Chains A and B, each alone.
Chain A
């Protein structure tokens, strides 16, 4: 079945540091890939997405590129802020199967210190 693997957290950074959160996936066909963010006390919300190989999703300074050859969708940001402290989830939506139920990674907690 489909699966998503994320690096374990927490990731702890100082403000303005560079961020990478690794995500790799296993799926048949050509899934769509997503990053969701969960701020403290809130539900998940979409951060960015990519639908095909070499697509780059971007939002709020975050970027991720769909790499089919390495089955990866790593999240990056050049300069993090304290307000980016949250839990980040990588997810995929299958391209076939009928129900299109998404698969989520286990989440990576990011803590940014001033």
Chain B
């Protein structure tokens, strides 16, 4: 029973298209995140939601729009895809509590390739 699941695992699309990535967690966590990992494995946080409310929105183009219908789901919609959006996108969740309780649980990732 996967704790954090995201779909699809692979996404290949053309420039200019719009696509969505879905994420669900069954850990009962209050906080969910989206990260972008580039080809050099650098991990950058994009968004963080706590109980369906946006708490962190790093410097991300407004073509990226997260949506949280409930605290177990955080989806990522991307408009007008560009070549530079090619990366692996990870969803994660945590209890949102401080210190050692803030362990991040990651999904398996969505590898996005924009052609």
Contact = CB atoms under 8 A, between A and B. Distances in A.
Given A42-B108, A46-B103, A46-B104, A109 B98 contact: no
B108 A93 contact: no
Nearest to B9: A41
A65 B76 CA distance: 37
A89 B106 CA distance: 13
Contacts of A87: 41
A102 to B, nearest CB: 6
A43 B43 contact: no
A107 B109 CA distance: 16
A31 B99 contact: yes
Contacts, number: 66
A100 B103 contact: no
A62 interface: no
A38 interface: yes
B48 interface: yes
B100 A38 contact: no
Interface range on chain B (Cβ under 8 Å from partner): 20 to 34
A65 to B, nearest CB: 15
A89 B97 contact: no
Interface range on chain A (Cβ under 8 Å from partner): 20 to 34
Contacts of A101: 45, 48, 56
A102 B95 CA distance: 12
A36 B35 CA distance: 15
Interface string B67-99: 000000000000000000000001010101111
Interface string A39-57: 0011111100101000000
A104 B43 contact: yes
Contacts of B109: 41-43
Given A32-B102, A44-B90, A107-B42, 17 more contacts: A31-B99, A41-B108, A41-B109, A43-B4, A43-B107, A44-B92, A44-B106, A46-B103, A49-B100, A89-B43, A91-B104, A93-B99, A96-B98, A100-B102, A102-B102, A102-B104, A107-B43
